[in-house]
Structure 1
C-alpha cells in the first residue's frame, strides 16, 4: 500500500528571504526543501533519463508483474481477466520493437538519420503504448503523442508540424491515416498495434487486413503490425543509443481552445524531475497496483505511469471503454486511482443520490453516517469509522475494488464538498494536484493529511512558485490578508519551450525561466496555495466587472449534479450572464419527476428529453437550482446566471465544440448557440424594468 511521508502541516511552504521583486511575491518553496528545487531522485541519483529509470526498475523488479491487460476473445465477444507480463519480459519486447523500428527506418525506408527522429503514437492507453514510447528512449528517438480523439485536421497538422515518418497506432486508426496520407507526405510507414494477420474468409473475398495492405501499397506506405516489427527487431538487433538528460524525449501537443495545438518539448530531465518531486511525498512499491485509463497522450496519465514504473508497481490498463471502467477496477482491485474532476463529480452525484438523498430509512442513516465522518475528518480524526464503515461505507469502497488507498485528481478544480465526501466515502487519501503540460502535470499538491478542501497545497520539492500582480484585475502581491496574483512556476520540470514556436514560448516562459500559468492564486499564512480566478478567457461586463467564466462553470458544475456540461457567457454591452446547459440525464430526469411530477422518459429517449428542456417550468426550476449552487459557491451578484438555455446538443469533439482534452472551445460554442444567446438577452431586456430618470 502507498506510504505517505509526513511533514509539518503548520508550515507547508516558505517565502525565500531576499527574493521579492517589484510587483511579485518572493519565491515560495516547500518548507522541507528551502535550499532550492530538487530535480533528481535522491534514492537513485544515477537516474538521468527515462532509459535509466526503466533499466533501474528492470534490475530491481525483473521478475515482478508489470503491465497487465484484459485480452478480448473474438469468438465469445468478451474480455478475460487480467494477464500480466513482467518487467523483464517487457524489457525484451521494448528492445525487440525498438530494434525493429530502427531496421525499418534505415534498411527498409532508406533513411540516413540514425536517431532523434519522431515516432507518432495514436492509441488509447495499453501495453503497446508503453512499449513504443520506451523503445524511443532505448534508441534516442522522440515520441509524439496523438490524442485518441483527434480529428483528421488536427492529426494532419501535428504529423506535418512534427515531421513524423512512422506512426504506431491502434488498428482502428490505420484507415484514417491512409485517408489523409496524401496530405501528410512525410509519413512513410504505419504500424498497427492490433494484428493484421490474415484470417480465413469465404472464397474470392478480401479480408480487412488484405484490403488495408493493398490500400497502403497503392499509397506507397509501408504497413506492418506490432508483432511483425518485434520479429524484425529480433532478427536485426540494434545497439542502444542512449539519450542525454537535456534532450527532448517527447513532443506533447497541447490542445488549444482557439488556434492550432502547440508542441511542448518534454526533456528526459523534465520527466525525472517530475518523478523526483512526487517520490519525496509518497512512496509507491511493488505491492501497489495502478489502474491506467487516463490518456497517455495527456501529461497527467504519462507522468503517473512513469512514477509507478519507477516504484516497481503493477500497471493494469482498462479495456478501452470509460463506461465500463468500474468493471475493470472490480477485477484489478487497484491501490492507486488517478482521476479527473469530471469523473469524480459523476461518481459523487451517483453516490449522493444513492445515500444522503435516498428516501426513507436509507437516507436517514446515510445522512447521520456522512455527518459523523465529516465531523471526524474536520477534527483531524481521519477517514475511518468503526461503525459507519461496517454498515455503509465498506459497500461504497467496493465500487473501486475495495483496495484503493490513494486517489490523485487534477486538470481542473474540484468542489470542497465533493472532495470531503469522497474522502470519507472511500476512506482513502485524496490529494489534489496542480500543473499543466508545460510543468509536466505536477507543481503543487495538497498534503496527504490535509483536512481543508478547496486548496491546491504547497509546491513540490522540485518547484519554485511566486505570485505576480495582475493590475487590470486588481490582484496584487501586496493584498491583505493574503497575497494574490498570477501563479508562476520554475524548476527542472518546466519545459524549455514549444517546438518550432518561439512566439508562444516567449509568451509562456520568461527570460528567468518562469512559466506564467494564467491562473490567479493566493497563498495563506502557512504556505498553502488556492486558485481563485483565471487570467485567460476573462471578459468585462457593461458595469465594468471582470468575469472568469471557467471558474463559474467549475463552481456550479461541482455543486449541481444536474449539470453534464455548462457554458457561461457574457458580453461587454450586457450587465448579466447567461448559460447553455446540457443536463445529466441520470439525475435530471428523476429530479424533474420528483419536483414537477413529470413523467420521466428513458435516458436514451433524446427527443423526449429535448421536449422537457423546452418546457418553461423546467427551465425556471433549473435556473433556480443554478441560483442555489451559485449561492453555495459564494458567487458575487454579477456572477450569477440570469437565464439558461437547456439543450441535448452536447459539446463534443466530433461537433468541434470540445478539444481532445475535453476543454470547451469557447468561440465555437458561442457561435453554435448564437441565436439562443441572443434570445436570452432579449428576454432579459424585455423583463427588466426601465429605470426612471
Structure 2
C-alpha cells in the first residue's frame, strides 16, 4: 500500500522572501518546507550512512522477502517463477562476500592499498549487483558502476581513472575484460557473477572455466566466481569497517559525450539525504516489486520492500512484469511509449464497436481527470480498464517515470488507463537524481513538479540563449539545485567541479526551465548542444556530425536532430554536388551535371537515392565508432544550404542549431512521422 500526503496543487513551491539577486530568481522550496530543507530521515535520525540504513532494515525486516530473481533451469532450458531471499539471508551473503573481497585484496593479491579502494561492478541489475555494492558499504570501499552504454573505450578509461583493482561482472563480460586487459594495467582480479564451475561437456576437453582462468594467468589477472569469494569470506570472516557520512560511497561516471566520462563522487550523506527527501510526502507500506535504479533500491531497502530483478532481456521484460505483479513501478518514457502504442492500437484505434466504446471511455476519463475528479470510473474501469491494468500485473498503485521527458498525452493516458498515480521526476546524477517531482494527485501534465523536501531551486539568466528571469509570463533560466543531495565533486577533476558547483553549493544543471505561478518547473532546453533521447541516452549531435562529415565524402553540410520524446535521430543533409551527382546518377541512370540545380533537387527527392545515401551514412558511422543510438534513422536531402545570409550559419561558419531546426521543422516532423508509421507496435 502506498500512502501520499496531500498538498495544495495551486501553490506547490514558494520563492523564499529576500533571496533574489540580480540575474537570478529567489530560492524556490516545496511549500511545506519553506523554513528548512530535509537532510535526515525523520523516523530514523540515527541513520547516517548506507551501512546504518541496511543494518536498520535487517533488524526491522530480517525475515521479510527482499531480493528476487527468476532462476534458469539449464536442463529444461526454462526460467522458473521468482525466488526470494530475505533481508537476513542477504545480510549473511554481504558479510561473506565483503569478507571475501578483503581477503582477496590483502592476502591473494597482496595489495598494499588495504582500504578505500574501488570495486568495479559491470552487469545488469541482479541480486549479486546489490550484494557487491552493499559489501562496499560494510568495508568502506568505493563502488563504481560500469554501464554497457559507455562503450569499451570508456570502460577502459574508468577502470584506470578510478584505479579499480577488482571488477565483479556478469559472465558475458569476463572475456571482454581479459581481451582488453593490456589497456587496464591496474586490474588484478575479475569475479564472475555467473558460475565458473569446471563442467566439461565432452570427455577429455578443457572446460571454458579453465580456459578463462588460464587466459587470466597469462594477463596477470586472477579469475574467480561469486561463490568462491563468498567461500573465502565464510572461511576468513572480517570485522566490519563502517564508513563516515561524508566519505564517498560510489563513483558514478557520466556518459562522456563531450569528452572523457566524469566520475561524480556520491557520499553516504548524499544517499541518506535522498531517502530522507523521498520519505517526505510518500509513505510506502508492504513490499514493492521490480524496483530498479540505485536511488529506488536504497529507498526500497529502507522501507522493507521487495526488489525483483528482470532476466536481462528487454524483449522479455513485460513477461517478467506480469510474473512479478509490482505495486510500485519506476520506469522510463521509452517503455511507456511502447505500452501506450500497443494499448492505443487495441483500443481507441480498433475498428468497429470496440474502437467506438474505447474512444468514449477514454474521453470520459480524460475529461474527469482534467476536471480534478481522479483516475477512476465505476463503469469504464469494470468494462475496459481493469483488463488493461493486467499488462503490468494488475496491482500497480504508483508509476514513476524519469530520466527523460514524456509526452503530455502519454502521461495522462497512463493515469486513466492504469487507474493509478503517475508521477514524473527530474534530477541530475550530480544531485542523486533528486530535484523535483509531480505531486500524487496532479492532473495537469507537461511539467516536472515542484522541488523535493530536501532541495531548493533557483533559475539563473542565460543571456546568450535569451533566457532571462525577467521574462514574461514566467521567469526562465538555467536550473540550479542545492541541498544535501548535491554531490561532493568530480573525482580527480577540480576544474569541472568548480564549473558545476559554486562556492555556495549550487549545482548548475545545464537544463533550461521556467517556473509557473503554481510553483511548478518545466524543462524547455539545454544550455549546451546536448540532449537526451527518450531512453535516456545523451546525444552530442556535433560529435556525430563531425564523424559523418569526416567519413562520407557525399556530405557538404549536415545537421543531426533529435529530442527527448523520440528514441532515434534524424538528419538534414546538403549533398556535395561533385561527389553526390556521380553517386546518384549511377543509381537512377540519369545524367545530371554540375550546375543543373533543378536536376540536383530532383535527385535529392528520389527515394532510391535517399536509401542508398542513408546506407553510406551507416557505413561512416560504423567506421567512426558510433554507438547504436547515435545512428540516424531517416534523412532529408536538400539543396537549401546553411548560409550566413539565411541566418543558419554564424560569421565564423558554425551552424546555428536553433535556426536550422526551425527552418527544417516540417521536414523533421515528417521524418519522425514516417518512423512511427513504419514501426510496429511493441508486443506486451
TM range (shorter): 0.7 to 0.9
| CA deviation map 1:260-311 (0-9, x unaligned) | 11101010011111111111021122x232214x5xxxxxx11011111111
Counterpart position of 1:567: 570
Counterpart position of 2:375: 383
How far did 1:3 drift? 1.2
Tell me, in whole angstroms, the C-alpha distance in 1 between the residues paired with 2:357 and 2:615.
35
Counterpart position of 1:289: 288
Tell me, in whole angstroms, the C-alpha distance in 1 between the residues paired with 2:432 and 2:622.
24
Query: Aligned pair in 2 of structure 1 residues 149, 466: CA closer, same or farther (>3 Å)?
Result: closer
Q: 2:8 aligns to what SS in structure 1?
A: coil
The answer to whether the 8 A contact 1:534-1:551 is kept is: no
Q: 1:521 aligns to what SS in structure 2?
A: strand
How far did 1:442 drift? 1.1
Tell me, in whole angstroms, the C-alpha distance in 2 between the residues paired with 1:319 and 1:652.
31
Counterpart position of 2:504: 512
Tell me, in whole angstroms, the C-alpha distance in 1 between the residues paired with 2:300 and 2:195.
28
How far did 1:60 drift? 0.4
Q: Which runs of 5+ in 1 are unaligned?
A: 295-300, 541-548, 558-563, 572-613, 621-643, 689-693
Tell me, in whole angstroms, the C-alpha distance in 1 between the residues paired with 2:37 and 2:203.
67
Tell me, in whole angstroms, the C-alpha distance in 2 between the residues paired with 1:278 and 1:185.
41
Alignment match of 1:341 (pick from 318, 333, 347): 333
| CA deviation map 1:55-98 (0-9, x unaligned) | 01000000000000000011111110100000000000000000
Counterpart position of 1:316: 308
Tell me, in whole angstroms, the C-alpha distance in 2 between the residues paired with 1:10 and 1:615.
51
How far did 1:553 drift? 2.4
Counterpart position of 1:592: none
Task: Tell me, yes or no, if structure 1 residue 554 matches structure 2 residue 564.
Answer: yes
Alignment of 1:382-401 (within 5 A): 382-401=374-393
Counterpart position of 1:584: none
Q: 1:476 aligns to what SS in structure 2?
A: coil
**RMSD over equivalenced CA pairs, Å:** 2.8
Alignment match of 2:403 (pick from 407, 411, 415): 411
Task: Tell me, yes or no, if structure 1 residue 680 matches structure 2 residue 638.
Answer: yes
Counterpart position of 2:230: 230
How far did 1:684 drift? 10
Tell me, in whole angstroms, the C-alpha distance in 1 between the residues paired with 2:227 and 2:150.
26
Task: Tell me, yes or no, if structure 1 residue 657 matches structure 2 residue 626.
Answer: yes
Please identify, of 480-489 and 232-241, the stretch whose mean Cα deviation from structure 2 is larger: 480-489
Query: Aligned pair in 2 of structure 1 residues 390, 466: CA closer, same or farther (>3 Å)?
Result: same
The answer to whether the 8 A contact 2:561-2:571 is kept is: no
Alignment of 1:249-648 (within 5 A): 249-285=249-285, 287-292=286-291, 294=292, 301-537=293-529, 553-555=563-565, 557=566, 565-567=568-570
Query: Aligned pair in 2 of structure 1 residues 681, 68: CA closer, same or farther (>3 Å)?
Result: farther
Q: 2:638 aligns to what SS in structure 1?
A: helix
Tell me, in whole angstroms, the C-alpha distance in 1 between the residues paired with 2:488 and 2:76.
50
The answer to whether the 8 A contact 2:389-2:418 is kept is: yes
Counterpart position of 1:162: 162
| CA deviation map 1:589-617 (0-9, x unaligned) | xxxxxxxxxxxxxxxxxxxxxxxxx9968
Tell me, in whole angstroms, the C-alpha distance in 2 between the residues paired with 1:468 and 1:683.
35
Tell me, in whole angstroms, the C-alpha distance in 2 between the residues paired with 1:153 and 1:143.
20
Query: Aligned pair in 2 of structure 1 residues 650, 528: CA closer, same or farther (>3 Å)?
Result: farther
Tell me, in whole angstroms, the C-alpha distance in 1 between the residues paired with 2:178 and 2:77.
28
Task: Tell me, yes or no, if structure 1 residue 88 matches structure 2 residue 88.
Answer: yes
Q: 1:168 aligns to what SS in structure 2?
A: strand
Tell me, in whole angstroms, the C-alpha distance in 1 between the residues paired with 2:318 and 2:16.
45
The answer to whether the 8 A contact 2:572-2:638 is kept is: no
Query: Aligned pair in 2 of structure 1 residues 329, 209: CA closer, same or farther (>3 Å)?
Result: same
**Total equivalences in the alignment:** 588
Query: Aligned pair in 2 of structure 1 residues 505, 311: CA closer, same or farther (>3 Å)?
Result: same
Alignment of 1:65-144 (within 5 A): 65-144=65-144
The answer to whether the 8 A contact 1:651-1:658 is kept is: no
| CA deviation map 1:503-547 (0-9, x unaligned) | 21122111211111111111111211111222111799xxxxxxx
Q: TM-score, normalised by structure 1?
A: 0.81
Query: Aligned pair in 2 of structure 1 residues 617, 377: CA closer, same or farther (>3 Å)?
Result: farther
Counterpart position of 1:633: none
Please identify, of 80-89 and 344-353, the stretch whose mean Cα deviation from structure 2 is larger: 344-353
Tell me, in whole angstroms, the C-alpha distance in 2 between the residues paired with 1:524 and 1:682.
39
How far did 1:240 drift? 0.3
Tell me, in whole angstroms, the C-alpha distance in 1 between the residues paired with 2:502 and 2:142.
25
Alignment of 1:33-52 (within 5 A): 33-52=33-52
Q: Which runs of 5+ in 2 are unaligned?
A: 531-540, 543-558, 575-603, 647-684
Query: Aligned pair in 2 of structure 1 residues 430, 194: CA closer, same or farther (>3 Å)?
Result: same
Tell me, in whole angstroms, the C-alpha distance in 2 between the residues paired with 1:314 and 1:654.
45
Tell me, in whole angstroms, the C-alpha distance in 2 between the residues paired with 1:189 and 1:314.
32
Q: 2:382 aligns to what SS in structure 1?
A: helix
The answer to whether the 8 A contact 1:374-1:424 is kept is: yes
The answer to whether the 8 A contact 1:116-1:141 is kept is: yes
Tell me, in whole angstroms, the C-alpha distance in 1 between the residues paired with 2:358 and 2:334.
24
Query: Aligned pair in 2 of structure 1 residues 262, 331: CA closer, same or farther (>3 Å)?
Result: same
Please identify, of 382-391 and 131-140, the stretch whose mean Cα deviation from structure 2 is larger: 382-391
Counterpart position of 1:578: none
